[in-house]
Structure formats: structure tokens, C-alpha cells
């Protein structure tokens, strides 16, 4: 019983440090570098194939602190059809949470100026497990095995987007099943909806692009979150800086480089939400993208 109580406390601590920041502060790469992370409609939205990876860890390196890895691959299957896969793994204390999603997207042309409407649907497989290597106690306790025998959970994500040259308007529902059944198992951090709008200004000279962006997110059990920021690119988009302010009293800031228009590297700092800053003091994230077979 003592071990069960300790396990429950560890689980709660892990979730408070892992899942809560994850849902309030998603990967910083989703704002500009890898929009497919936030919206399945963005899978194969342009030509070629895109492979993305990101890794995030708390700045202070406390024992049992959350560390999160993201991986996606998406691209065009035919002229109008895109597909993708996304994998997410979050480790916090004893909890190891993994989700794998497969995506189908359809991109519908609307006009002669390149306007398009995009639809995307992902089917998601979600697994929660306890990591026995981090158990400080009796690993034969039946409560641990009972946790790991829980049924895995299937979810769905749906997204739409509209693009018209410099404009990108998008909306997504990250937990479709939970929305209609009321049963929330935190498949995508308990998100209820995601919306965003951005506009790209293309300029001559040293500053080659300015792209402001506004987002609005709903999260189950928390106030809705307003996101606002901008990315500024330099020297024909070889280098960039970005910053996003979130109404959860946090900030995401990043510095990126584009190597030969094929490899993108971005380093980001995510300042954590106001209520938990004293506990975890932000996180550092690195993201990398490889663009293959893309028309220039």
C-alpha cells in the first residue's frame, strides 16, 4: 500500500510537470518550422517530402524532469493527396507516454491565384506506461503491473486550412473522440481546438520575409490561450528569428538557419507558464527539418 501511494504521488508529480506544460506549451517548432504538428491538414501542403525531429528538455535538468521527443514525416502522394506520420514521446518521472498518428490530407484547388482548401484526418494510437527502471521500491507490486495492463486508446484529429499566397488560415480539433463522448484521456494534452492565422510579407534586401501569426487554443481544464508573435527571416531566408507570446504568461523564442534550402535547424527556449515558473524554469528545444524533392 505504501508503494501504491508513493506511485500515485510520483504519477501525479510527473503529470503535473510533464502533461500540463506539454498541453500549455506545445513544441515551439509547430508555429513556423513544422505546422503539421498542430494541424493534420498541413501534411503534404506543399511539394516534396519533409522529415522533422525535435527534442525538448527542462533547462535545470532536475531528476525525473520531463523530456519530450517529436518526429514527423509528411509529403505529397498525388497532386491533391498528402500523407504523414507523427510520433510523440514524453517521459516524466515514472510515466512514459507515446502516441503515433497516421494522417490523410486532401488539398483542393479553388482558383487561378493558387488558393487552396486543405482537409486532414489523423488516426492516433496512444500508450501510457510506467518505466520500471525508475521505480524506487518493489517492482513486483501488482499495482504497477495493473497500470501497464490498461487498455491503449485510439483517437482522431481533424484539421482544415485555407491558403492564398501569403495568407494561411487554419483550424483543428486535436481530440475528436473526446469532444463527442466527453471521455478525455489526454491523447493530445487535452486540447479542445486550435486556430491560427498568418500573413507573409516578402521583402527585398537583408530582411527577406516577415510573418506575423496569431493563434487561439482551447485546453480542457484551463483558460483558452491566445498566441501572438512573428518570424523575421534574413538574407533570402538563410537565417531567422522568431518569438511568440502566450496568454498563459509564457514566451517562445527561437533562432534558425536554413542550409542550402534543404536542412533547417532551429533552437528555441520555452519559458514556462506563470504558475509553474518557480518549479521548472523553462525548457530548451532543438528542431531539425530535411526537405526532399521539393520544387524550387
Cell of 244: 511568440
pLDDT value for 79: 86
pLDDT value for 19: 45
pLDDT value for 16: 35
Which residues are CB-contacts of 21 (< 8 A; sequence separation ≥ 6)?
A: 66, 272, 273, 276, 280, 283
Q: Is 211 left (phi over 0), alpha (psi -120 to 50) or beta?
A: beta
Rank 23-32, 114-123, 268-277 by mean pLDDT and report only the highest.
114-123
The more confidently predicted of residues 152 and 54 is: 54
20, HSE (Cβ side, Cα atoms, 13 Å) = 20
Question: What is the distance between the alpha carbons of residues 14 and 97, in angstroms, rounded to a whole number?
Answer: 11
Q: What residue ranges do the domains of the chain occupy?
A: 24-292
Which residues are bridge partners to 228 per DSSP? Answer: 214, 245
132 and 144 Cβ atoms separated by less than 8 Å: yes
Rank 39-43, 64-68, 280-284 by mean pLDDT and report only the highest.
39-43
72-98 pLDDT, tens digit per residue, is: 999 999 889 999 999 999 887 778 889
When pLDDT is cut at 50, 70 and 90, the band that residue 105 belongs to is very high
pLDDT value for 221: 79
Average pLDDT for the chain:
84
Q: What is the separation of C-alpha 55 from the centre of its chain, rounded to a whole number of angstroms? A: 11
Cell of 51: 522529415
pLDDT at position 211 over 80: yes
pLDDT value for 175: 87
Q: Where are the alpha helices (DSSP H) in the chain?
A: 2-24, 142-148, 176-181, 277-280
- The DSSP result for 134-184, as a single string, is G--S-TT-HHHHHHHTSPPEEEEEEEEEEEETTEEEEEEES-HHHHHH---
pLDDT at position 9 over 50: no
Question: What is the distance between the alpha carbons of residues 235 and 204, in angstroms, rounded to a whole number?
Answer: 9
pLDDT value for 71: 97
pLDDT at position 60 over 70: no
pLDDT value for 1: 34
pLDDT at position 17 over 60: no
CATH number assigned to the domain with residue range 24-292, chosen from the 4 options 2.40.160, 1.10.3470, 3.30.200, 2.30.30: 2.40.160
Rank 174-188, 199-213, 260-274 by mean pLDDT and report only the highest.
199-213
Question: What is the distance between the alpha carbons of residues 162 and 179, in angstroms, rounded to a whole number?
Answer: 23
When pLDDT is cut at 50, 70 and 90, the band that residue 189 belongs to is low
pLDDT at position 275 over 50: yes
Amino acid at each position: 500500500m505504501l508503494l501504491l501511494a508513493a506511485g500515485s504521488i510520483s504519477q501525479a508529480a510527473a503529470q503535473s510537470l510533464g502533461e500540463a506544460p506539454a498541453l500549455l506549451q506545445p513544441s515551439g517548432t509547430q508555429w513556423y518550422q513544422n505546422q503539421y504538428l498542430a494541424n493534420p491538414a498541413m501534411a503534404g501542403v506543399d511539394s516534396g517530402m519533409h522529415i522533422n525531429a525535435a527534442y525538448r528538455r527542462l533547462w535545470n535538468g532536475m531528476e525525473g524532469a520531463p523530456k519530450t521527443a517529436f518526429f514527423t514525416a509528411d509529403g505529397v502522394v498525388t497532386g491533391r493527396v498528402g500523407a504523414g506520420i507523427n510520433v510523440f514521446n514524453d517521459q516524466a518521472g515514472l510515466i512514459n507516454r507515446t502516441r503515433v498518428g497516421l494522417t490523410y490530407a486532401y488539398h483542393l484547388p479553388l482558383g487561378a491565384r493558387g488558393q487552396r482548401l486543405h482537409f486532414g484526418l489523423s488516426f492516433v494510437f496512444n500508450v501510457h506506461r510506467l518505466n520500471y527502471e525508475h521505480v524506487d521500491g518493489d517492482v513486483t507490486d501488482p499495482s504497477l503491473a495493473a497500470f501497464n495492463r490498461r487498455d491503449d486508446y485510439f483517437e482522431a484529429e481533424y484539421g482544415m486550412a485555407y491558403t492564398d499566397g501569403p495568407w494561411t488560415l487554419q483550424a483543428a480539433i486535436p481530440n475528436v473522440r473526446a469532444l463527442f463522448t466527453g471521455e478525455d484521456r489526454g491523447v493530445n494534452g487535452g486540447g479542445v481546438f486550435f486556430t491560427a492565422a498568418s500573413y507573409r510579407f516578402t521583402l527585398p534586401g537583408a530582411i527577406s520575409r516577415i510573418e506575423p501569426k496569431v493563434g487561439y487554443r482551447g485546453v480542457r481544464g484551463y483558460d483558452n490561450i491566445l498566441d501572438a508573435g512573428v518570424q523575421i527571416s534574413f538574407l533570402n531566408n538563410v537565417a531567422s528569428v522568431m518569438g511568440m507570446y502566450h496568454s498563459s504568461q509564457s514566451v517562445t523564442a527561437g533562432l534558425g538557419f536554413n542550409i542550402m534550402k534543404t536542412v533547417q535547424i532551429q533552437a528555441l527556449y520555452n519559458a514556462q507558464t506563470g504558475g509553474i515558473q518557480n518549479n521548472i524554469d523553462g525548457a530548451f528545444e532543438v528542431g531539425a527539418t530535411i526537405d526532399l524533392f521539393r520544387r524550387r
